[in-house]
Amino acid sequence: MCIRDRYQAGQYSACFPLFRRLTEVAARTKWANMAYFHIGMSHYQLKNWNKAIDSLSLVGTEIEDAGEAGDDLGRIEIGQRFYSKIVDADVPVMRKLNVPVQALVKVSSGDVETITGVPVPGKKNEMLTSAPTALGAPKPGDGVLQMVGGDTLEVTYVDDSTLDGRKGVSRTGKVRAVSTGTIGFFLGDNSTPAYIAYPGEPQVLMLRDADLDTSPGAEKITLTVKSYYKVEAAAAAEDEEKGMLDIFSLEAEDEEVWKERDSVTVTLTETGGGAVIRSGVFVGKVTLAPIEDGVTPKSDDAILHCDELDELSVTYTDEVHLYGNESRVSESRIKVSGSVNSGVTADQFVVFEELLKARKGSVEAEALAGLGEIYKDMGLDQRASQRATEALAKVNPIIMNRLKLPGDIVENAFRLKWECELLKDDFDSATSTCLAFNRLYPESVLADKALMTLGRSLTDKGDFDKAVDVYQRVLELENPISAAEAQFRIGETLQQRAVDAIEEADAHNSKWGKAGLSKATALQNAMGPAVAAYRKTYERYPESSYAADALGKVVRHYVDTEAFAQAAELLESVFSDYPDAAFLDEMLMLWANIGYRMDDKETAKVKLRKLIFDYPTSKHVTEARKKLAGLEAEEGE
């Protein structure tokens, strides 16, 4: 599930680490602004009003600085809004005196505009000026910065009062106007992207790049469009030994290979009307024709030959763009469908016998596995095992013949195999099947999910050591999407093992009581492995949604064992690294208790006030008010 889906589903806790990471890796871009917006709205939905205000106030402040594109000048995209930040210690005074903070922007092609700054929330010495940009001839004073590719923009701000006492000092900055080219196939309306091409029908090709608009006339550019066909990979040799399943010995299929069928050169012309054409949009048409038997396509004609299931490809090399000095190559590809035919035709389709057998075996195995589940729920383990054995006899041949069968049938066969092995309580075989599936299909998430389900099942059964081993297997997968959760579950499993062990020992009047140790103390002593697993969670997967929970469990452990100095130090990390965690109100209450027990009542009061102010809907607010009132009363006495 992507971050947007999680946000829309209301999984705000899972979204916070990803949004925070986005503000770091995409700083000074629109993506950082969008991340701050979603962080703020998430806190709004959770009714954390003050945190929502803090995050929403940062929306719009992430603007790209000049000179960071690897060039001597910064770069702006033609057509996007231009921003300039003014930093001056005199800004607060100017705002009180209602003096506008303005900057003069000059475009090298002739346009001149004066833009007025607006305050940046939370940054009293900064003002943000902005203006829309457009490709075209200069129109000074209209509020829009008209420019062409290759223009430079000079921003001038007059500082009326400097630190050394000078007045009227001009501060200037420059950026270059560029356009990042995009290429694609479109329908005849020149606005709707095309996803399918049809032989015999012309295909529209469109390029957008304002850098190519170098004169008032219509510019032209020549590109090459190619058609490709897929070469099927050779099937691997079958295992000669019948009835023997060795899925590890089967080699992975070769990657698909595409070969060029035909190519054609197309001239694209800049669109527009009137005496001056300044659109930066170039359009051309490609004539497509179906391939004919026995006819070799010619590369020197104006027709691009293709066949059904081919792909059309066009590449464009952009020399000047927003992302640096290196050339940027863009490619667009679309599939080719069959020729349009409105006549009546009769076709015959052949269904292979092996495919029929596989589908039949899959359906029968599904039914047997379902029956086994029913027997298992009724406590009839022997009958469940019999049905599972019968189902395995159905799915094993499917796995053996996987190279000849569709992927969905093979994946379903693997799923049924490990589910049947679980019905037989053969956890080792189920684990091996999951690992084998992951080796053959590393991009699939089925093995990952199956192992996580197996681990939880073992934990529920009280088989903690095997559960930990299964979770460790998840961490060893090639692409484990549940790695962070698996590490966290290891900690939970080890914690549950410690709890059960202490409960059992206490119930039998064990050495804990005789040695003078309370059950709580004994439990904390046994929590070492679990704490180590939790620590690995937030150290190895700091951006996961489980990192904050793991950190919280370690903090609680330190508090329970009265390691207050370590707890306080870790709490600093909690609020610094996980400002959106769902349990920060509880952490503030713990911090207040730590401060009180360390005879630091001032810290205790500060944390209680922060809890009351930042989390007014928290279940800990009532207790926090009482404790704060008690501390203030002690101070008054």
**pLDDT for res 5:** 65
Structural domain includes residue 525: no
For residue 138, the domain's CATH number is: 2.60.40
Whether the CB-CB separation of 439 and 458 falls below 8 Å is answered with: no
Please determine, for residue 62, whether its predicted confidence score (pLDDT) is greater than 70.
no
Q: Which of these, 42, 54, 53, 8, lies nearest to 582 by C-alpha position?
A: 42
**pLDDT for res 517:** 57
Q: Quick check: helix, strand or coil at residue 611?
A: helix
For residue 41, the domain's CATH number is: 1.25.40
Structural domain includes residue 192: yes
- What are 274-331's pLDDT values in tens digits? 888 889 999 999 999 988 877 788 877 889 999 888 999 999 999 988 877 888 899 9
Same domain, 79 and 209: no
CA pair distance 471, 419, nearest whole angstrom:
17
Task: Report the residue count for the chain.
Answer: 637
Structural domain includes residue 126: yes
Please determine, for residue 49, whether its predicted confidence score (pLDDT) is greater than 50.
yes
Same domain, 116 and 250: no
Domain that holds residue 21: 3-56
In sequence order, which residues have a C-beta less than 8 Å from that of residue 543 and are 6 or more positions away?
17, 18, 20, 21
Structural domain includes residue 211: yes
Same domain, 134 and 270: no
- What are 326-350's pLDDT values in tens digits? 888 999 999 998 655 555 655 554 4
- What are 524-562's pLDDT values in tens digits? 777 788 888 888 887 787 767 787 788 778 888 888 777
| Cα 576 to Cα 85, 207, 524, 570, distances in angstroms | 27, 46, 27, 10
Q: Of 336, 371, 386, which marks where a domain is finished? A: 336
In sequence order, which residues have a C-beta less than 8 Å from that of residue 72 and are 6 or more positions away?
none
Whether the CB-CB separation of 399 and 413 falls below 8 Å is answered with: yes
Helices (H), 541-615: 547-560, 564-577, 584-597, 601-614
Count of domains observed in the chain: 3
Q: Which of these, 206, 238, 77, 102, lies nearest to 160 by C-alpha position?
A: 102
Q: How confident is the model at residue 106 (pLDDT cuts 50, 70, 90)?
A: very high
Same domain, 84 and 193: no
Structural domain includes residue 7: yes
Structural domain includes residue 435: no
Residue carrying the six token digits 């956890």: 427
End-to-end Cα distance, the chain: 57
Q: Which two tokens stand for residue 468?
A: 């930990």
Whether the CB-CB separation of 272 and 218 falls below 8 Å is answered with: yes
**pLDDT for res 250:** 44
Asked which of 40-44, 130-134, 208-212, 268-272 is least confident by mean pLDDT, the reply is 40-44
- For the chain, the average pLDDT equals 80
Mean pLDDT confidence for 357-385: 85
**pLDDT for res 311:** 93
State what percent of residues in the chain have pLDDT above 90.
17
Single pTM value for the model: 0.46
Q: How confident is the model at residue 516 (pLDDT cuts 50, 70, 90)?
A: low
Structural domain includes residue 428: no
